A and B are shown apart, each in its own frame.
Chain A
Amino acid sequence: MIDQNKIREQFPILNQKINGYDLIYFDNGATSQKPLTVIDSISNYYKNSNSNIHRGVHTLSRTATELFEKSRKTIANYFNVKNDQQIIFTAGTTDSINLVANGLAKNYLKRGDEIILSTYEHHSNILPWQLWAEENGGKLKVIPLLEDQSLDYVSLEKLISDKTKLIAITQVSNTLGLITDLEKIKSIAQKNNIPVLLDGAQSAPHMAIDLQKLDVDFFVCSAHKMYGPTGIGLLYLSEKWLKELPVSKPGGGTIKTVTFEKTEYAEGALRFEPGTPHIAGAVGFAAAIDFINEVGIQKIFDHEDELVQYAQLKMTEIPEVIVYGKSAHKAGVISFNVKGQHPFDVGTLLDKYGIAVRTGHHCTQPLMQCLTIQGTVRISFAIYNTKQEIDFFIEKLKKVITMLS
Chain B
Amino acid sequence: MSIEEIEKEIIEEFELFGDDWEGKYEHLIDLGKSLPIIKEDLKTDDRIIKGCQSRVWLNSELIDGKMVYTADADAIITKGMVAVLVRVLSNQKPEDVVKADLKFIEVIGLKEHLSPTRANGLVSMINKMKTDALSLCR
Contacts and interface: CB of A to CB of B under 8 A. Distances in A.
B77 interface: yes
Interface string A341-355: 111110011001000
Contacts of B78: 342, 344-345
A349 B25 contact: yes
Contacts of A182: none
Given A374-B74, A403-B29, A404-B76, A352 B120 contact: no
A212 interface: no
Nearest to A19: B21
Interface string A337-370: 0000111110011001000000110000000000
B42 to A, nearest CB: 20
B25 A359 contact: no
Contacts of B55: 374
A403 B26 contact: yes
Interface string B68-82: 000000111110000
B131 interface: no
24 contacts: A19-B21, A341-B76, A342-B74, A342-B75, A342-B78, A344-B53, A344-B75, A344-B77, A344-B120, A345-B54, A345-B77, A345-B78, A348-B120, A349-B77, A352-B21, A352-B25, A359-B119, A360-B53, A360-B119, A374-B74, A403-B22, A403-B29, A404-B29, A404-B76
Given A344-B119, A403-B29, 18 more contacts: A341-B76, A342-B74, A342-B75, A343-B53, A344-B54, A344-B77, A344-B120, A345-B78, A348-B120, A349-B25, A349-B77, A352-B22, A352-B25, A360-B53, A360-B119, A375-B53, A403-B26, A404-B76
Interface of B: 21-22, 25-26, 29, 53-55, 74-78, 119-120
